[in-house]
Structure 1
């Protein structure tokens, strides 16, 4: 027996995306986000002065936990720290506050 699923499209004007927000350690200098199944680097960016990094990612990361999120220091004094199995928060890209 087949089951038919109907996926309701988002309302007109809504742009669904995923948001990854990281409160970075003061000793961290870079943020990396990686797709854990393909190894694709989604971002490799410097730490913002506020220490809170916000990144918009494709919608597919809002319903799967396929992200590795990590912080690194370029001087290699501290160990890098990564979290596996991160799922992005579903947001409307038209209304999200991306200020850092």
Structure 2
């Protein structure tokens, strides 16, 4: 989806009075599925439009975005893509994308 299409969808959702979160990769290091600038909309029902990378990281992004939406806050969250450890989000690559909710 192009940025123009995404922003058009945001305008439509706003006009319809639907709540959503814009999740944006603001920085990435190493091997990550999407780079800085990648965007995804998370709607209040948990559905998404576009992607910030897929997999377990994206699942966590959706959960965190819904929490931010419920609380009515903006936030920046750092995820580390690791294959082992207490907070590992299993992935075939290793890197550190950052996501921002607006």
Normalised by the shorter chain, which TM-score bucket? 0.3 to 0.5
Query: What TM-score, normalized to structure 2?
Result: 0.33
Say which one has the larger Rg: 1
- Structure in which a larger fraction of residues adopt strand: 1
